[in-house]
Amino acid sequence: MVTSFNHSGIVIRDLETMVSFYRDILGLTVIREVESVAPPAGNHTGIPGSERMLVFVGKPDGDHLLELVHYREPKSPNGHLERNQLGASHICFNVEGLANLHEKLISQGISFVTPPIYTDLPNGSRTGICYFQDPEGNWIELVERTRPS
């Protein structure tokens, strides 16, 4: 039985750029770093002899981490799926001050699919959502939910 979330992982090419993006641009914290070398027979990844650097980012008091997986060996092949393709994924972050964050990210060269789109709900709360890509093309969704006024 599943009891809770632990982490989500994405395979990345440029470890320094991606850690900088999630830490310095989005404001996450590096929680831990792990050097992982699989034995010749393989490990849980099923890739014998793989060499990876794993960097877990998140909020120190959060209950879910993002694992940035950098394969040194074997090198990761190119490729991303379109947003609507089976198997495609995105990372969703809850945020406060979506409009301000959107403007800040635009000023840092981030391109969005749309500006934040807001929906007023019958209970008086409001939801804002927008999408963009990280430096390696992984899709990111930002969601702001306000309480009823």
Which pLDDT tens digit goes with each residue over 98-130?
999 999 999 999 999 999 999 999 999 999 999
Q: Which residue has the higher pLDDT, 46 or 97?
A: 97
CATH topology of domain 90-146: 2,3-Dihydroxybiphenyl 1,2-Dioxygenase; domain 1 (3.10.180)
Sequence-distant (6+) residues with CB within 8 A of 24 are: none
pLDDT for the residue 24: 97
Model confidence band, residue 87 (pLDDT cutoffs 50, 70, 90): confident
Fold match between domain 7-73 and domain 90-146: yes
The CATH architecture one would assign to domain 7-73 is Roll (3.10)
Give residue limits of the domains in the chain: 7-73, 90-146
So what's the pLDDT on residue 48? 82
Taking alpha carbons only, the member of 128, 131, 132 closest to residue 145 is 128
56-79 pLDDT, tens digit per residue, is: 999 999 999 999 999 999 988 888
pLDDT grade for 32, boundaries at 50, 70 and 90: very high
Please, what is the Cα angle at 9 between 82 and 31, to 5 degrees? 140
pTM above 0.85, yes or no: yes
Cα torsion angle, 77, 72, 111, 96, sign: positive
